[in-house]
Structure 1
Amino acid sequence: MLTVEENEFLTQTGADTAMGQYFRRFWQPVALSEELPERDGPPKKVTVMGEKLVLFRDTEGRVGLLDRRCPHRGADLFFGRNEECGLRCVYHGWKFDVEGKAVDLANVPPGVRMQKEMRVLSYPTQEAGEIIWAYMGPPAEELTQIEIPKLPDFEFIHMEPAKRFVTKQLMECNWAQAMEGDLDGAHFSFLHVPAPSIKSSHHPFAPVDEKRLNWIRNDPIPNFEILEHEVGFVVGWERDADGESYWRMTQFSLPAAGTGPSTMPGETYYGFSLVPIDDISCWMYCYAWNPDRNLGNEEREKLATVGHGIIAEVDENYIPVRNRSNDYMIDREVQKNTTFTGVKGLAEQDIMIQQSQGRIVDRTRETLTQTDGCV
């Protein structure tokens, strides 16, 4: 349980907040590369930790992330012209490059000092793993060499494109409860299992990947251990496995990234990064990868169309098809006879329950138990 003040400290990520300043010390995903498919193409609005920004790919393929307000009269640069290595405001023609430097002040006389000094707020970007990353913290000249952050060294980034799949999905809740939900291994014994009317059917010689569902289902009070490391921690959940131990391992990396529970040999891995849009919503960037093989056409098509694992089925705007506005398309007959929730999709089940807690969960009203220790 947290106090109101502690909850606000955790959940608020504006530029003037402690958590917001901490998040800004890391490279953050701000868009998928596929959202800027062409040079000199349409700019894209993005909101990151409450900051309203505009993203564009210039003539040379470089990506710029700028404050949406033109420093001249405050017009929105989203409506600007993306042309000849810069974004030009359509109000009075001021043009800025990907680093925020004014390269043409069309209505300012030549020789005026403003021509050399005018800038718009900009943030450095990098592209890696089919994701556009941005660093929104203090500029490099204000930091010591050891403080300058590096891009996260996630395994999926180093995979060939054929071995990975990258997407994102909107979360209509604060980043912290989405993170907690993904680290909480105890809920698997309920949220993601078949309906109680469906009895266990595995036999003693069934393969492990069939048995594990029953191990999860039959042991709702798992033990857990946390091993801290320099960039986060690993949490392991131990359940009885027909007299042995079945461990499910999940990674957490600062400030808000993790992996899905550990897989069986040969299976595809899943990971995610949570990035606050504001204090009541966030983007969940999801990545699936397999270091041993290419993702087959059928697997890739499944991820792209109906989702799988932590990846939800989303529309063209990356909004989950089953969402708050339609009660996640819950089917009460399915809930009665087939699955514990009646909501289709593991990811959607997580999204449903995390968002049902409210945009920002009131942690003063929680009643925590032994298995909530990880949270």
Structure 2
Amino acid sequence: MNKDMSETLTRVGPGTRMGNLMRRYWVPALTSSEIELPDGPQVRIELLGEKLLAFRNTDGQACMISEFCSHRGVSLYFGRNEENGIRCAYHGVKFDGLGQCVDVPSNPKACAHMHIKGYPCVERGGIVWTYMGPPDKMPEPPELEWCTLPDSHVFVSKRLQYSSYLQAMEGGIDTAHVSYVHRYEVDTDPMHQGVKALDYIKADGNVVFEIEKTSFGMSLYGRRMGEPDSFYWRITQWLFPWFTMIPPFGHHALGGHAWVPVNDHECWAWSMNWQPKQPLSAEEHEAMAAGKGIHVEYEAPGSFVPKANRDNDYLMDRKAQQEKRAYSGVFGFSAQDYSLQESMGSIQDHSAEKLLPTDRAIVMARRMLHDAAVALEQGIEPPALDASEQHVRPAGVLLPKGDDPMVWAKAHLANGLDEPVFSI
């Protein structure tokens, strides 16, 4: 990848190509529980290089505005959340949930030119989503499966990752690494253990990929040896601009991620598990809350910084590595991934990489994002703005060696969420 393409893909601030593209989609911003109470404490958050303030107003509506007062730049984090707005603690200037100035005590006539940025919000799947793009271009709210289910069916967490969204997301697209970095974790993790798919994954690290470009992004078909007369196919999806799906493991909950830029050098890594047909069991919920599966244990409650982090070498255990209990010496699915992704630097030097056939899906995702960002600059609308295109689900299946997985997918996955879960 040349320098210009790398710059386009990794720079996400206001006015950048990728920043402009990403602002055309609903952005997962924070969990609803972070601003649980009307008129409760506001929360500072950075998204796409913008420092913002989230709060729940008196009426219970989630709101997102610029962090800083337009008067003299004071942080509204220190302001008062009351009477459907935030009042600056310095001179009493007040803003509503969309950033409109509604009171300047010292000069009421000044309200008209004191407005700050404000972005509309919706809540789905336990997440506050915000739209940061042109108001007249706002798409329908997200309809990913886990956004449409009762709360009891879904578990959502997030963590801060010290790398660009791109290299984090590329880890989500790349399913070939499962045979290596996760190969011992799958035997003991309660969200993965005890299913037949693990035998195929551990036995065959030579994954062959087929890729299908779609209206929502792309579908990936990863082929491993199955039984003597069959292949094991892991079918997953990447959805514009930052969602990845995880093929299911047996009876365990479905999973997915969202990789949302904080700024050019950091991202929010969201992890979701859900059961389409029944609530999560108490055991599943307990394991997820404890950081098992794709979730993490935090360094401190509410920090969203993982306990295993770069400051402690991700709690690497060389003895466990030698004893084949942890392939990289790091424990935990997410930690095994982000430790390696952060080791590349916050923005990888793409000019030095030498890609392999298993990276085909990563190459396609890069091209699709880059091309969409350039096209938007030329006035062409972005892809996958129709929320109904998000009605997709990953799968894991054994197919006879002569069968085409794309033909099978069109027959069994085409109706999206109306189909049963296909898992091994």
Per-residue deviation, 1:105: 1.1
Amino acid at match of 2:216: V
Amino acid at match of 1:245: F
Amino acid at match of 1:139: P
Other-structure match for 2:339: 352
Other-structure match for 1:79: 78
Q: Distance in 2 between matches of 1:280 and 1:222?
A: 30
Contact 2:197 2:249 in 1 (8 A): no
Q: Give 5+ residue unaligned stretches, structure 2.
A: 188-192, 363-424
Contact 2:44 2:52 in 1 (8 A): yes
What are the equivalent positions in structure 2 for 1:1-375 lying under 5 Å apart?
Answer: 2-109=1-108, 112=109, 114-116=110-112, 118-140=114-136, 143=137, 148-194=138-184, 210-243=195-228, 244-264=230-250, 266-308=251-293, 310-314=294-298, 315-316=300-301, 317-337=303-323, 338-375=325-362
Other-structure match for 2:370: none
Amino acid at match of 2:150: E
Other-structure match for 2:403: none
Contact 1:94 1:104 in 2 (8 A): yes
Q: Distance in 2 between matches of 1:119 and 1:339?
A: 53
Per-residue deviation, 1:210: 3.9
Q: Distance in 2 between matches of 1:19 and 1:116?
A: 32
Say which structure is richer in helix. Answer: 2
Q: Distance in 2 between matches of 1:4 and 1:300?
A: 44
Per-residue deviation, 1:312: 2.1
Amino acid at match of 2:208: N
Tell me, what secondary structure is at the counterpart of 2:361? coil
How many residue pairs align between the two structures? 352
Q: Distance in 2 between matches of 1:252 and 1:193?
A: 23
Per-residue deviation, 1:170: 1.1
Tell me, what secondary structure is at the counterpart of 1:179? helix
What per-residue deviation string (whole Å, max 9, x for no partner) do you get for residues 171-230 of structure 1?
1100000111111111112111139xx9xxxxxxxxx95442232222221111112221
Amino acid at match of 1:350: D
Amino acid at match of 1:326: N
Structure 2 length as normaliser, TM-score? 0.80
Contact 1:3 1:364 in 2 (8 A): yes
Q: Percent identity?
A: 37
Amino acid at match of 1:190: Y
Other-structure match for 1:205: none
Per-residue deviation, 1:169: 1.0
What per-residue deviation string (whole Å, max 9, x for no partner) do you get for residues 25-82 of structure 1?
0000111001001111111101111101111111111122111121112211111111
Contact 1:249 1:262 in 2 (8 A): no
Tell me, what secondary structure is at the counterpart of 2:55? strand
Per-residue deviation, 1:329: 0.6
Per-residue deviation, 1:335: 0.6
Q: 1:153 to 1:191 in 2, by over 3 A?
A: same
What per-residue deviation string (whole Å, max 9, x for no partner) do you get for residues 257-297 of structure 1?
11112333x32011111110011110012211101221111
Contact 2:71 2:114 in 1 (8 A): no
Per-residue deviation, 1:7: 0.9
Q: Distance in 1 between matches of 2:211 and 2:290?
A: 35
Contact 1:274 1:282 in 2 (8 A): yes
Amino acid at match of 2:142: P
Amino acid at match of 1:251: Q
Structure 1 length as normaliser, TM-score? 0.90
Q: Distance in 2 between matches of 1:25 and 1:162?
A: 30
Q: Distance in 2 between matches of 1:212 and 1:62?
A: 44
Q: Distance in 1 between matches of 2:327 and 2:311?
A: 21
**Runs in 1 of length 4+ with deviation above 3 angstroms?**
115-118, 208-211
Contact 2:42 2:53 in 1 (8 A): yes
Contact 1:250 1:262 in 2 (8 A): no
Tell me, what secondary structure is at the counterpart of 2:19? helix
Amino acid at match of 1:119: H
Tell me, what secondary structure is at the counterpart of 2:339? helix
